[in-house]
């Protein structure tokens, strides 16, 4: 095996004339040429190949984004029929709930039904006062009715049960029950189901707003929003 002469290699790099590379010894000449080739290759990579790789990476990102959008739209289209069915069922349920709310013209009959439910069970109405002002919401109105009735515990319980079974929605709220003094109600019993009681409560019934009332509600809401100061104005 031929030994490498390091002294000869080192001496070949001495006294080299940069302007006469072709006269250099083989080792320095080929080493410099190899270095130039490496520099040219590196420069070519960053000049030509680098931008192409960056463009390819951007294209891959765009492809992933488009792929996700496609998957999302495909999922939506696959579930479109289910969404339509759900919407239809929701509209049916909403319509059934809406039909449980009386119209404005039916309110008087509903109030009469509430009154008759009490009288038919032997209750006496000390007061039955529908609030003259309704509480209006987006598509319905709430009518509170302050009432005071007297009767036995069972009769009052049956009255509340009858109210819950009405075709229209009526709720009994803020119930207060008081025992009546037997000296003043003619009852000989001091306790038990026949003993007379007084119930003070607020019944609430609801009706749906007609198209004209809904439009008025929307106009009033828009007017209120216009008159409301913005965040910047309120800080001033």
Phi and psi based region of residue 133 (left: phi greater than 0; alpha: psi -120 to 50; beta: remaining):
beta
Instruction: Assign 17 a pLDDT band (cuts: 50, 70, 90).
Output: low
Domain count, the chain: 2
In the chain, how many H helices and how many E strands? 9, 5
Higher pLDDT, 221 or 133: 133
Residue bearing tokens 């006269």:
23
The reply to whether 62 and 108 lie within a common domain is no
Mean pLDDT in residue range 168-174: 89
Which residues form the domain of 142? 104-214
Local structure of residue 46 (DSSP, 8 states): I
Whether 56 is in a domain gets the answer yes
Q: Model confidence over 94-148: pLDDT tens digits?
A: 666 666 677 777 788 888 999 999 999 999 999 999 988 888 887 788 899 999 9
Residue 224 lies in a domain: no
135 within some domain? yes
Q: At 36, is the pLDDT very low, low, confident or very high (cuts 50, 70, 90)? A: confident
* Range 141-164 average pLDDT: 92
Residue 154 domain-assigned (yes or no): yes
pTM score, whole prediction: 0.49
Using only C-alpha atoms, the chain has a radius of gyration, in whole angstroms, of 46
CATH number for 187 = 3.30.70.60
d(CA 82, CA 100): 27
Does one domain contain both 109 and 207? yes
Cα–Cα distance measured from residue 214 to residue 147, given in angstroms and rounded to the nearest whole number: 29
Residue 90 has pLDDT above 90, yes or no: no
Residue 199 pLDDT more than 90?
yes
Question: For 139, phi and psi rounded to 5 degrees?
Answer: -135, 10
Q: Do 117 and 47 fall into the same domain? A: no
On whether residue 37 sits in a domain, the answer given is: yes
């Amino acid at each position: 095996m031929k030994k490498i002469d390091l002294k000869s290699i080192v001496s070949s790099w001495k006294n080299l004339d940069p302007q006469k590379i072709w006269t250099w010894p083989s080792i320095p000449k080929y080493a410099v040429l190899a270095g130039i080739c490496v520099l040219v290759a590196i420069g070519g990579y960053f000049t030509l190949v680098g931008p192409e790789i960056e463009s390819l990476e951007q294209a891959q990102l765009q492809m992933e984004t488009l792929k996700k959008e496609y998957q999302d739209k495909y999922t939506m289209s696959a579930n479109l029929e289910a969404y339509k069915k759900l919407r239809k069922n929701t509209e049916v349920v909403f319509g059934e709930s809406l039909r449980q709310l009386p119209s404005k013209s039916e309110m008087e009959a509903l109030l009469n039904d509430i009154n008759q439910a009490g009288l038919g069970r032997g209750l006496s109405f000390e007061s039955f006062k529908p609030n003259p002002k309704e509480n209006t919401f987006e598509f319905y109105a709430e009518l509170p009715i302050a009432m005071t009735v007297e009767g036995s515990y069972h009769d009052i319980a049956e009255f509340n049960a009858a109210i819950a079974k009405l075709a229209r929605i009526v709720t009994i709220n803020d119930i207060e029950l008081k025992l009546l003094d037997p000296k003043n109600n003619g009852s000989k019993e001091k306790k038990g189901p026949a003993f007379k009681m007084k119930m003070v409560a607020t019944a609430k019934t609801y009706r749906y707003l007609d198209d004209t009332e809904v439009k008025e509600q929307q106009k009033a809401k828009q007017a209120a929003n216009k008159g409301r100061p913005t965040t910047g104005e309120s800080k001033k």
